[in-house]
Amino acid sequence: MEPVIEAIDLGKCYQRRGVGAPTLMSRLAHMGKSTVHEPFWALRNVNFSIPRGTTVGVVGPNGSGKSSMLGLAAGTIHPTEGRIITRGRISSLLELGAGFHPDLSGRENVFLNAAVLGIPREDIARRMDAIVEFAGLKDFIDTPVKHYSSGMYVRLGFAVAVEMNPDILLIDEVLAVGDVAFQMKCFDRLNEFKKQGKTILLVTHDLVAVEQFCNEVKLIHEGSLVAEGAPADVVMEYLKRYMTRIGQLNVEEHGTRDVEFTQVALLDENGKEGTSFETGKALVVDIRYRAKKRIEKPVFGYSIKTGNGFFIYGTNTQLMKVDIDAVEGEGSFQLRIEPLSLMAGKYFLSLSAHSWDHETQYHRLEDWYPFAVTSPSADLGVFQLPTKWTLPRPD
Amino acid sequence: MNHLHDIMERRDLLWNLTVRELKIRYRNSALGFLWTLLIPLFMGLIYMFFLRLMAGRGVPMSEIIIGVFAWQFTVTSVNSGLHSITGNTNLVKKVYMPRIILPLAATLANLINYLLSLIVQFPLVAFLLYLQGEFISPMAVALPLVLILHFILNYGIALLLAAGNVHFRDLEHLIGVILSAWFFISPVMYNLSFIERVAADHPILLDLYMMNPMAIICTAYRAIILPHVSFPWTGLIWISIAGCGLLYVLADRIFSRQQKNFADML
């Protein structure tokens, strides 16, 4: 099938220079001299094609070029080299409430915003009540939007935006705003778009959403497309490469290194190395270490946090009364978690080696190993608690 | 002209942005649209007394009113055109649309404003003429022609400044100076009789003076509305009128060429 969005050797270059637009004086001052601006490639040599009806997530660290890519697809910015071809009516939701004017009432802004987004006036007039209802602004629709809270502002913007009927929808992080109920509404609406066979390009930091919602994910870093493919794989790749450097996780390595972890592999129950594991099966951590000198009674520990930094479990050899007399030179051991009772999600594994009295930290790898868990069952939560039901019995 | 298709496709947006301009202008002010009338009227009065004081002779009030209202249209177009891109950063960066709609909406809003003010200006001028036992000239039916020329001039300037201001923010300061210079070399508070006296010995001066499109436009308004004013059809006038068209074509080119970079520069 013909792709609806196609990038061919796409590149966008910005000139790095002082703050703001050049002034006449600075132009005059540099006249005759060839000014050397440092070029900055926000995006370069990007090639991809997106078939009709797919939902594609774009992930990557801040400043990686995600928004430039959307801007290029939307046509708000122009490529420096290569080209991007789009087929069909595009709506871009790069910002909710684009064109809203603070002095105009909610109702006036609805019409204005609709015109900006290319929604026919008749459609909006007909759907006005539904829009107001959806935004939950019945009593405030004739109030100037400068008196709105930021939540109200965004809700109204979104209520208008969902009235769009494009072939291609570009969304930039806008769904990150608003409360949980609002976000659920957003995703409901996006699912509807999906069902209608629309193509969606979604830039977001919400990796859970990406995985649930997208058919395909592209990972962008420093202006290049570094990975693309199935959401679970690309998200994992992303976490492994970059996510660990930022966020609420505290990725760091410290310790005296008298004992250090030299090689760590996460294995499944068949001994196959991977980063994705299944609830109820085994997670085996294969650890190689090196001790520079003889260390008496070392303690090894591990802990697991969720992707957003919530500590969920930790233990060590001391607590579990696995006494290790001493380590010296190189060696290996295994940590076996079976059954893995974590539910589907992203997790981070930390490892540590310290002295019996906790005085000396030999080596600590904090939030060092990301892994994913998939669950075959539909139950919810972080943990799968061993659960049994009895059948109801009349008294 | 090559944008006509794009603009027609988004005429809904064009209209909404035009209405937004007008609504915002008068929102929160008690007198609202009245300001559009009051400002030129006050200015007219000030100019009239000032001129009597300085030059020792005056210009009929009706001529000043016509000049000041027309000048007001140009000044507001220049100022709103100047900010039409830089003042709508959000729309330029976050939404795809033909950017030319922004300066066009700004100029259209000012045109509508001007047309509304003409509704008041005409009876006022008619009344002033009536006091002298005169009537509005039947030539006034040619008003649309002058309006078109005036609009093309203002729109061309707005396009040029909108694109220019993205690159050189100095324009915002420079424009104030240029406008006041332009005001004095345009027959707004005076009329051509002041120039004709100076140009009596050197007719070329009048030709040069009429190269200024605002000299043509202000004089043309007066000539078609007022029975006692005639239009000096010197040979160079056509060049100047063609110049307005050329300015527009050029400004349109420059704007189209520059607009790709707007989102990067803002």
- Is A162 within the bounds of a domain? yes
Are A232 and A281 in a shared domain? no
Check whether residue A112 and residue A196 sit in a common domain.
yes
Assigned token pair, B169: 């923010």
8 Å CB contact of B96 and A116: no
The answer to whether residue A186 sits within a structural domain is yes
Of the candidates B191, B247, B224, B197, the residue with the CA atom closest to the CA atom of residue B47: B191
Do A100 and A225 reside in the same domain of the chain?
yes
Same domain, A67 and A163: yes
What beta strand segments (E) does chain A contain? 3-16, 38-51, 55-59, 81-86, 90-93, 168-172, 199-203, 216-221, 224-229, 252-254, 259-267, 276-278, 283-296, 299-306, 311-316, 326-337, 345-354, 361-374
Residues of chain B with a CB closer than 8 angstroms to some CB in chain A: 10, 12-13, 15-17, 20, 23-24, 27-28, 88, 90-97, 166-171, 174, 260-261, 263-266
Q: How many domains does chain A have?
A: 2
CA dist A390 and B102 (Å) reads 69
Residue contact A76–B92, C-beta within 8 A: yes
Average pLDDT over residues A83-111: 85
Same-domain status, A306 and A210 = no
Encoded tokens for A355 = 């002295």
Using the Cβ of A208 and the Cβ atoms of chain B, whether some distance falls under 8 Å is answered with: no
- Which tokens hold the place of B14? 């064009």
Q: Is residue A391 part of a domain?
A: no
Of A88, A100, A94, give the one whose Cα is nearest residue A76.
Answer: A94
Residues A71 and A206 grouped into a single domain: yes
CA torsion, ordered B250, B253, B257, B259, to nearest 10 deg: 100
CB contact under 8 A, A115 and B17: yes
> Looking at residues A162-172, what average pLDDT do you find?
84
Quick: pLDDT tens for A142-157: 999 989 888 888 888 8
- Listed in sequence order, the residues at least 6 apart from B262 whose beta carbon sits closer than 8 Å to its beta carbon are B85, B92, B99, B163, B166
Six-digit token string for B144? 């649309």
DSSP β-bridge partners for residue B218: none
Q: Which residue has the higher pLDDT, A239 or B143?
A: B143
Per the CB < 8 A criterion, the answer to whether A369 and A348 are in contact is yes
> Last residue of a domain, which of A213, A228, A244?
A244
Query: Which of these three, A244, A262, A297, is where a domain ends?
Result: A244
Strands, E assignment, A98-190: 168-172
Chain B CB contacts of A115 under 8 Å are 10, 12-13, 15-17
Same domain for A40 and A125:
yes
Average pLDDT, chain A: 84
Q: pLDDT (tens digit, 9 = 90+) per residue, B135-153?
A: 999 999 999 999 999 999 9
Cα–Cα dist A8/A295, whole Å = 58
Question: A240 and A301 share a domain?
Answer: no
Q: Report residue B103 CA to chain centroid gap.
A: 14
In a domain, A281, yes or no: yes
Q: Are A238 and A322 part of one and the same domain? A: no
A395, part of any domain: no
Domain of residue A125 covers: 3-19+33-244
B184, B209 Cβ separation under 8 angstroms: no
Of the listed ranges A85-89, A178-182, B71-75, B77-81, the least confidently predicted one is A178-182
Interface test with B, best of A69, A116, A142 (most B CBs within 10 A): A116
The reply to whether residue A104 touches residue B27, judged by beta carbons under 8 angstroms, is yes
C-beta pairs of A38-42 under 8 Å, 24+ apart in sequence: A39/A13, A39/A14, A39/A15, A40/A13, A40/A14, A40/A15, A40/A16, A41/A11, A41/A12, A41/A13, A41/A223, A42/A12, A42/A13, A42/A14, A42/A68, A42/A223
Instruction: Tell me the β-bridge partners of A197.
Output: none
Both A87 and A8 in a single domain? yes
Please indicate whether, in this complex, the C-beta atoms of B263 and A71 are within 8 angstroms of each other. Answer: yes
Of B96, B168, B265, the CB nearest to A76: B96
Cα B28 from Cα A101, distance rounded (Å): 13
pLDDT at residue A24 in the model: 61
Predicted confidence band of residue B97 (pLDDT cuts 50, 70, 90): confident
* A240 lies within 8 A of chain B by CB: no
Does A115 reach chain B within 8 Å, measured CB to CB?
yes
The rounded distance, in Å, linking the Cα atoms of B174 and B212 is 19
- Of A244, A265, A288, which residue constitutes the final position of a domain? A244
Residue B77 has pLDDT above 70, yes or no: yes
Q: What is the pLDDT of residue B238?
A: 87
Residues of A in contact with B177 (CB under 8 A): none
Task: Write down the pLDDT at residue A18.
Answer: 53
What's the pLDDT tens digit per position in A11-26?
998 876 654 555 666 6
Is the ipTM of this structure higher than 0.85?
A: no
Assess whether A192 and A337 both reside in one domain: no
Band (pLDDT 50/70/90 cuts) for residue A36 is low
Residues A194 and A71 in one domain: yes
Q: Is A384 within the bounds of a domain?
A: no
- Residues B151, B247: contact at Cβ < 8 Å? no
A121–B contact, CB cutoff 8 A? yes
CATH code of residue A266 = 2.70.50.60
Q: What distances in angstroms separate CA A18 from CA A22, A41, A357, one per listed residue? A: 8, 17, 55
Q: Which of A30, A76, A81, A112 to mutate to test the interface with B (most CBs of B within 10 A)?
A: A76
Q: Sorting pLDDT into bands at 50, 70 and 90, what band is A31?
A: low
In a domain, A65, yes or no: yes
* A24 part of a folded domain: no
Higher local confidence (pLDDT), A297 or A95: A297
Which of the four pLDDT bands, split at 50, 70 and 90, describes residue B90?
confident
In CATH, what number is assigned to the domain containing residue A169? 3.40.50.300
